[in-house]
Amino acid sequence: EAGVAQSPRYKIIEKRQSVAFWCNPISGHATLYWYQQILGQGPKLLIQFQNNGVVDDSQLPKDRFSAERLKGVDSTLKIQPAKLEDSAVYLCASSYGAGGYSGNTIYFGEGSWLTVV
């Protein structure tokens, strides 16, 4: 079974430029997550989709970050304009269902490494 695919793997941009990350979840997974992981810290949830609807974006900096999942499969996370503090790994994850009480395992991709200079 194919895992969660992410691209690009690495990206270096200058501050105030824009960047987009793409994620293809495991086939059949309705729930998709984007996490941000700053060096030395645990991942922090940015946004969670259930099919193509947003169920949690409380920690997404909406003035510069946006995400979409138009057809309920692939997703794109965009940052515009980027700041130095956005340097991090952006992790995409997916699970079959959304229920935290049902033991649905969440699987992660390898991440997209962003450096803002």
Partner 1 sequence: DAKTTQPTSMDCAEGRAANLPCNHSTISGNEYVYWYRQIHSQGPQYIIHGLKNNETNEMASLIITEDRKSSTLILPHATLRDTAVYYCIVRTDSWGKLQFGAGTQVVVTP
Out of 55, 80, 83, 115, which residue is the one contacting partner 1 (CB under 8 A)?
A: 55
Task: Report the largest interatomic distance among the alpha carbons of the chain, rounded to a whole angstrom.
Answer: 43
Question: How many residues comprise the chain?
Answer: 117
| β-pair type (10-13, 5-7) | unpaired
Which among 72, 113, 79 has a CA at the least distance from the CA of 94? 72
Within 58-87, the residues that bind partner 1 by CB under 8 A are none
- In the DSSP assignment, the letter for residue 78 is E
Out of 2, 27, 28, 41, which residue is the one contacting partner 1 (CB under 8 A)?
A: 41
Number of residues that bind partner 1 (CB under 8 A): 31
**Distance (Å, whole) CA 43 – CA 56:** 15
Closer CB to partner 1, residue 61 or residue 81? 61
Q: Which part of the chain contacts partner 1 (CB under 8 A), choosing from 13-21, 66-74, 79-87, 91-99?
A: 91-99
Residue 23 CB, nearest distance to partner 1 (Å)?
Answer: 11
Closer CB to partner 1, residue 43 or residue 86? 43
Contact 62, 55 (CB under 8 A): no
Residues that bind partner 1 (CB under 8 A): 4, 31, 33, 35, 41-45, 48, 50, 55-56, 91, 93, 95, 97-111
